[in-house]
A and B are shown apart, each in its own frame.
Chain A
Amino acid sequence: MSDATRTEIATDTQQGWSTRARNRFIGVFRLSPTAAIGLLIILFFAVLALFSSWIMPHDPVAAYTDRVLQPPSAEHWFGTDGNGMDVFSRVIYGAKFGFGIAIPAVLLSLVIGVPVGLIAGYRGGLLDEVLMRFFDGLRVFPSIILALAVVAATGQSLLNVILVLGFLDSPVFARVVRAEVLALRSSNFVESAVAAGNPTWRILFVHLLPNAIQGAMAQTAVRAAWAVRISATLAFLGVGIQAPTPEWGAMIRQGAEFMISGQWWVALYPGLALIFLVFGLNLLGDGFRDLMDPRHRSGS
């Protein structure tokens, strides 16, 4: 087989796959343009995070001591920071932290919040009352203050930031699932499942869960946006992740002092990256809501 035919076959199968993906994407785009744009932005950052070692022109923590605080140039696209590190490479590497914190934190919130919501909604009574009061009490605190206090008190590490964010956000999912379960509790399919002698755990996780999880899943993108934002804010305050780790919030902290002396590039670029990732997640979340609730669907 000649080289030419081989490439032809390769591009042919590739095109088959990419056309299918494109068609599906156009389908989503028609249903909710916001969700599609959000998805594109998230994919862009996902590529940066996964392939950062190929994309980064420099080592993100290599200090070029002879090139401190240089403005953007052909060699350093986003300039260099106060340690002489390449801001462009650091911004790309920072995407890893965005996903690396948001994904496990949201998963943890789901793993805690969903069963709590299921049980509280199904059982009701004192347990439900106490849990809901406790969640109400937590809402007195602004989330950033609460997260800051808990991280500062329990130890400053990346793992701890993830755990704290996951725990603090679980009430959001618990509430949504609980509300769904309350509505479903006395429906026919649950009553017949009880009558058929199913144990409680089976009713909760086999019968109720698939019907009650939708609302919680629709929240995941918005909660991921929250996790990315709060973790960056913590790093900006110097709590949790510390400089010179190439995390966006920590980089903004490093760049803060240079804003009043005119070296804008140190803090500007990580902030822009942060905005776009959070914006993408919020767009996707907004689109999820459209798709779930036809009343809000745009264009109808």
Chain B
Amino acid sequence: MSFHRFLLRRAIMVLPLLIGVVFITFMLVRIGGLDPVGKLAGPTATQAEFDSIRENLGLDQPLWQQFAIYLGNVAQGDLGESWLSNRPVLTDIRERAIISLELLFWGVGIGALVGIPIGLRAAFRPNGRFDQVTRVLSLLGFSIPTYWLGLVMIFVFFYLLGWAPPAIGRMSLLVMTPEPITGSYLIDGLLTANWDAAWSAASHLVLPVICLAIVSAAPIIKQTRAIAIEVLASDTVRYAHACGLPEKTVRKLVLRNSAVPVLTFVGTEVTGLVGTMSLIEYVFAWGGLGQYGLNAIISGDFTAVQGYVLALALFSVVVFLVIDIVVHLIEPRSELS
């Protein structure tokens, strides 16, 4: 299948999923007990004020009509306005997405760089000392609440040791923000040779990234181990052993054959970690998309919640697309479908 046809097919397949996701969120926030009108109007509002706010927001129309209007607007790239920030949701999301992506990239990247070798090493000697220890450690990693880990790290590295900057935002307020090019303070600072900004941004990144890396490494270790053990038991590897190939060559073969499933797993983990990342952003006052989404849900900002959920769904669609393409590049035998 040609690449263009593959992309087109994927886009057509994804459309019903996206509409379904929009529909579920749309109905969920409206049918439930969330009431933005009460929050916007304040405690002293009269019934007339309530009604006029409701009318302004379009909440007085029947549900199906609201949904049709919303879907039409989304198709034209208009996600509506946030009722709390009074800004277009699309602008809010676009600004914040890059901030979250930066954190996610470093966190999962380091988690994978640490987790994959550990998982492989555990698999080469199953039930050895190393395997037992990493198994317990990764189970512990599964059990630590992210937000608590973040708080403890803030206490140790900011309050006790004074190594880390205060956990408010992505950069010190005393440093000039760099010219916005990509939206990431670190990269922008490096690009514009604003070393102070780059340094400040990097030092603010350290704690949340370590937090995310620890939490993401645990499942990566477990899954890599399971995959590598399966590959080790496969006919290919047993045949290689039987042929008397040196251990080093066999291990290369194992690596090669584990690459695709491990990569696929890391990809699915990226999408699953979005929830964890929101909590880290919340604790470190990061101001990214995750924190935006949490606040929108808690305060009942309908349009923002819908936009956020749509962004999440799109993100996971793109991640799976990228995985499929990368897998195809590594393993040209696999069909793009």
Q: Hey, which bits of chain A sit against chain B, CB under 8 A? A: 34, 137, 140-145, 148-150, 152-155, 225, 229, 232-233, 236-239, 249, 252, 255-256, 259-262, 264, 267-268, 271, 274-276, 278-279, 282-283, 286, 298-300
Cα–Cα distance between A271 and B151 once the two chains are bound (Å): 10
Cα–Cα distance between A141 and B139 once the two chains are bound (Å): 23
In the complex, what's the smallest C-beta–C-beta distance from B258 to chain A, in angstroms? 18
Q: List 26 A-B contacts (CB under 8 A).
A: A137-B17, A140-B271, A140-B312, A145-B275, A145-B278, A149-B29, A149-B297, A152-B32, A152-B298, A225-B142, A233-B279, A236-B279, A249-B145, A252-B148, A256-B151, A260-B155, A260-B158, A260-B159, A260-B166, A262-B155, A264-B159, A267-B151, A271-B148, A275-B145, A275-B148, A278-B145
Given A152-B34, A153-B31, do A262 and B159 touch, yes or no (CB 8 Å)? yes
A-B pairs, 6 with minimum CB distance: A153-B32, A142-B275, A271-B148, A144-B275, A278-B143, A279-B143
Cα–Cα distance between A233 and B21 once the two chains are bound (Å): 24
Given A145-B297, A260-B166, A299-B127, do A155 and B147 touch, yes or no (CB 8 Å)? no
Cα–Cα distance between A219 and B188 once the two chains are bound (Å): 47
Return chain A residues, CB-CB under 8 Å to B273.
142
Cα–Cα distance between A262 and B276 once the two chains are bound (Å): 25
Tell me whether B274 and A142 are in contact (CB under 8 A). Answer: yes
Q: Mark B104-140, 1 if CB is under 8 A from A, else 0.
A: 0000000000000000000000010000100110011
Q: Which residue of B lies closest to A274 (CB)?
A: B145
Cα–Cα distance between A268 and B156 once the two chains are bound (Å): 12
Tell me whether B312 and A153 are in contact (CB under 8 A). Answer: no
Among B24, B25, B144, B147: residue with most chain A CB under 10 A? B147
B154 within 8 Å of A by Cβ?
A: yes
Q: How many interface contacts (CB-CB < 8 Å) are there between A and B?
A: 136
B313 within 8 Å of A by Cβ?
A: yes
Tell me whether B147 and A236 are in contact (CB under 8 A). Answer: yes
Return chain B residues, CB-CB under 8 Å to A237.
279, 282, 294, 298
Tell me whether B21 and A137 are in contact (CB under 8 A). Answer: yes
Tell me whether B144 and A275 are in contact (CB under 8 A). Answer: yes
Given A142-B272, A274-B145, A279-B143, do A149 and B159 touch, yes or no (CB 8 Å)? no
Among A233, A249, A276: residue with most chain B CB under 10 A? A233
Return chain A residues, CB-CB under 8 Å to B21.
137, 140
Q: Which residue of A lies closest to B167 (CB)?
A: A260
B40 within 8 Å of A by Cβ?
A: no
Given A237-B294, A286-B139, do A232 and B166 touch, yes or no (CB 8 Å)? no
In the complex, what's the smallest C-beta–C-beta distance from A205 to chain B, in angstroms? 31
Tell me whether A150 and B28 are in contact (CB under 8 A). Answer: yes
Tell me whether B127 and A271 are in contact (CB under 8 A). Answer: no
Cα–Cα distance between A271 and B283 once the two chains are bound (Å): 14
B257 within 8 Å of A by Cβ?
A: no
Q: Which residue of B lies closest to A153 (CB)?
A: B32
Tell me whether B159 and A259 are in contact (CB under 8 A). Answer: yes
Q: Which of the residues B25, B127, B136, B144 comes within 8 Å of A149, measured between beta carbons?
A: B25
Q: Which of the residues A154, A264, A276 comes within 8 Å of B33, measured between beta carbons?
A: A154
Cα–Cα distance between A144 and B275 once the two chains are bound (Å): 6
Tell me whether A153 and B28 are in contact (CB under 8 A). Answer: yes
Return chain A residues, CB-CB under 8 Å to B297.
145, 148-149, 152
Cα–Cα distance between A256 and B166 once the two chains are bound (Å): 14
Given A229-B145, A233-B145, A274-B145, do A152 and B279 touch, yes or no (CB 8 Å)? no
Q: Which residue of B lies closest to A236 (CB)?
A: B147
Tell me whether A298 and B25 are in contact (CB under 8 A). Answer: no
Tell me whether B139 and A282 are in contact (CB under 8 A). Answer: yes
Return chain A residues, CB-CB under 8 Å to B29.
149, 153
Q: Mark B25-49, 1 if CB is under 8 A from A, else 0.
A: 1001101111000000000000000
Q: Which residue of B lies closest to A282 (CB)?
A: B139
Tell me whether A275 and B139 are in contact (CB under 8 A). Answer: no
B213 within 8 Å of A by Cβ?
A: no
Cα–Cα distance between A140 and B279 once the two chains are bound (Å): 18
B7 within 8 Å of A by Cβ?
A: no
In the complex, what's the smallest C-beta–C-beta distance from B93 to chain A, in angstroms? 15
Cα–Cα distance between A19 and B152 once the two chains are bound (Å): 42
Tell me whether B32 and A233 are in contact (CB under 8 A). Answer: no
Q: Mark B304-317, 1 if CB is under 8 A from A, else 0.
A: 01000100110010
Tell me whether A143 and B20 are in contact (CB under 8 A). Answer: no
B300 within 8 Å of A by Cβ?
A: yes
Q: Which residue of B lies closest to A138 (CB)?
A: B24
B293 within 8 Å of A by Cβ?
A: yes
Return chain A residues, CB-CB under 8 Å to B276.
142, 144
Q: Which residue of A lies closest to B127 (CB)?
A: A298
Tell me whether B152 and A268 are in contact (CB under 8 A). Answer: yes
Return chain B residues, CB-CB under 8 Å to A150.
28, 32
Tell me whether B145 and A232 are in contact (CB under 8 A). Answer: yes
Return chain B residues, CB-CB under 8 Å to A256.
147, 151, 283
Return chain A residues, CB-CB under 8 Å to B279.
144, 233, 236-237
